[in-house]
Structure 1
Amino acid sequence: MTDNLDAVRAHYRASGLTERLKTALAALGPEGQRLMPEQLAGLDQFHTRGLAATAELAGLAGIGPETIVLDVGSGLGGPARFLAATHGCRVTGVDLSEPFVEAAHYLTERMGLGEQVTFEGASALALPFDDSHFDVVLLQHVAMNITERGRLYDEIRRVLKPGGRFATYDVVLNGGDPHYPVPWARSPAESFLLTAAETLARIEQAGFETLVWQDDTEAAKAWFSQLRASGPPPLLNLGLVMGPDFAGVAANLGRNLGEGRLGILTAVFEAIPGKA
């Protein structure tokens, strides 16, 4: 497990990330100017379909003002801040990458959401929270980096209250080997994909009942087509985070979806009482 975690951590190392963000954000105004989630959507929504996908998943999970949310693999914190700003909930994010956590804190303060949103550096396989603590757990484009899926879903079930909801939006294996590099892995060494059926089996084994199950592959393919047609990316984009070749890497994901090698799964589950 240690070797896998080290490889994944290295993939998201992003040295000097916060300083790069400060420089790039100067284009939006002075340091003290409050930012809005939509201004950073091209930068801090590190998953297919971006902000729209986060908004849809929040709706499916039933997130409201009183909901206590955990975002596992929170990245730069974009989904966590969007949920807090639009739904009024409290959100905690955890991520394996220390530069991502540092940058998430900085961006959250720039948005004035420090009272609602917090972040911690931690592994998804050892969440630093008490049992039955959260109402909802989100997992967006994270599981592909985790080989111990049973342990991942067991940990999510542990920190959820009985009857709480687990909402996942992830890449699944569809047919054939993917083309690399992809956004979460430069090579197969950091990529641990399962099929949708295998994912469902692992999650149900952890003590969950399925509430929502939908294949969003076609929506993702349409999103990639729209990106290609729209021309150059905006000034604030994930290339600032993952390097100047990220556009080509992301295009490989679109290619894999188009060739039927990969798919996109959206699902919401309920934690079955007594089965933790």
Structure 2
Amino acid sequence: MQSPVNEAIQTHYTRTDLGDIILAALEKAGKDVNHLTPEDLAPIDEFHIRGRAATLELAQAAGLDSTKCVLDVGSGVGGTSRCLAQQFGCHVTGIDLTEEYCRAAAILSSRIGLTHLTDYYQGDATQLPFPDQTFDVVWTEHVAMNIPDKTQLYQEMYRVLKPGGTLAIYDVLAGPSGPVLFPVPWARTPDTSFLVQPDELRKLLEETGFTITDWSDTTERARTWFVSLAEKIQKEGLPSLGFHILMGADFKVMAQNQGRNLQEGRIVLAQIVARK
């Protein structure tokens, strides 16, 4: 049976027939849905702050190449997995709590010819359905905010990593200056938001057995990116392709709150690489 938190998280993210909704939006934006490229999908694909630029920065820090077998925990509609597969030639397995995201991810991967390098499973990040020591890299972007049991989360990531394997994290953490303003893209209310502070995360990772090799605070870059995004939405309205397709009409309010949370120091961002 699902926990109430997991049910609430799935309700937050689920939109029925999401794959078809995305394809219809692409068509409306003038894209040829039978011959899509990763660039066509970029505006909707990478559902995290600073999008593809942030993904490529983390990939570089984590030393990704075609020999690596990667697990993307919280893979969403598959944007990151497709980006890594296309850019580095590595095989990426995605796992996400939301069934509809997994279905959409598979549809979009097949449309851009990446089914041989990507696959998707519906599942819980705190109970990964993979044997011990399966992956060279465990990757996660903007996911832990929705997971209350972080000890179990990082223990599972550690378990499925090969010895010497790499954990790559890009996450939203609790800032120094007070509570988050809701709704935000990852939660409409505080009930499904579980942010930890940077020093708490450091302690969690080290207690799990990881050695942190790289820790970058990317809050300033995120702030700049978000301010320009919010200004653009304010001026031009929502684009035909964008995260509102995933989140619905209240994405506009979420984006405004997210900008304020960043500017007021209520959240910070970190890019972290650790080794098993």
Report the TM range for the smaller structure's normalisation: over 0.9
Q: Secondary structure at the match of 1:115?
A: coil
Partner of 2:263: 258
**Structure 1: where are the runs of 5+ without partners?**
272-276
Distance 1:46 1:77 in 2: 9
What is the TM-score with the length of structure 2 in the denominator?
0.95
Matching residue of 2:154: 153
CA distance in 2 between counterparts of 1:85 and 1:147 reads 32
SS at match of 2:261: helix
Q: Secondary structure at the match of 1:205?
A: helix
Distance between the aligned counterparts of 1:234 and 1:134, measured in 2? 37
TM-score (norm 1): 0.95
Aligned pair partner of 2:205 in 203, 206, 209: 203
- Counterparts of residues 174-189 of structure 1 (less than 5 Å): 174-175=175-176, 176-189=178-191
Contact 2:230–2:255, Cα closer than 8 Å, also in 1: no
Aligned to 2:167, what secondary structure does the other structure show? strand
Structure 2 equivalent of residue 274 of structure 1: none
Partners of 1:229 and 1:29 lie apart in 2 by 25
**In structure 2, what residue type is equivalent to 1:148?**
D
Find the aligned partners of 2:263 and 2:49 in 1 and give their Cα distance: 14
1:61 is displaced (CA, Å) by 0.5
TM-aligned CA deviation for residue 255 of structure 1: 0.5
| Deviation string, structure 1 residues 84-129 (Cα, Å, up to 9, x no partner) | 0010110000000011001000100111000001101011011111
Using the TM superposition, give the Cα deviation of residue 224 of structure 1 relative to its aligned residue in structure 2, in angstroms: 1.0
Deviates most, 83-92 or 13-22 = 13-22
How far apart are the structure 1 equivalents of 2:159 and 2:126?
A: 11
8 Å CA contact retained: 1:93, 1:119: yes
User: Deviations for 1:179-231, whole angstroms, at most 9, x for unmatched residues?
Assistant: 00010000000001100100111111111001101111111001112223444
Q: Which amino acid aligns with 1:10?
A: T
Matches within 5 A, 1:236-247: 236-247=241-252
State the shift of 1:251 in Å: 2.0
RMSD of aligned residue pairs (Cα, Å): 1.2
Structure 2: unaligned runs, 5 residues or longer: none
Q: Which moved more, 1:24-33 or 1:166-175?
A: 24-33
The answer (yes or no) to whether the contact 1:74–1:94 under 8 Å persists in 2 is: yes
Q: Secondary structure at the match of 1:114?
A: coil
2:93 alignment partner, SS class: strand
Per the alignment, residue 143 of structure 2 pairs with 142
Give the Å deviation of 1:56: 0.5
For 2:192, the equivalent position in structure 1 comes to 190
User: Which position in structure 1 is the counterpart of 2:130?
Assistant: 129
2:112 alignment partner AA: M
**Contact 1:138-1:167 at 8 Å conserved across structures:** yes
* 2:108 equivalent in structure 1: 107
- Aligned identity (percent) is 44
Alpha carbons of structure 1 residues 31 and 229: separation in structure 2 relative to 1, 3 Å: closer
Report what 1:92 is aligned to.
Answer: 93
Tell me if structure 2 keeps the 8 A contact 1:42–1:234: no
Q: Quote the Cα distance in structure 2 between the aligned partners of 1:181 and 1:70.
A: 29
Shift in Å at residue 58 of structure 1?
0.5
Residue 69 of structure 1 contacts residue 135 of structure 1 at CA under 8 Å; is this kept in 2?
yes
Deviations 1:44-99 (A, max 9, x none): 11110111000101101100011100100000000000000010110000000011
Q: Give 1:17's aligned residue.
A: 18
| Aligned-pair CA distance for 1:9 | 1.3
> SS in structure 2 opposite 1:189?
helix
1:137 Cα deviation from its structure 2 partner: 0.8
Aligned length: 270
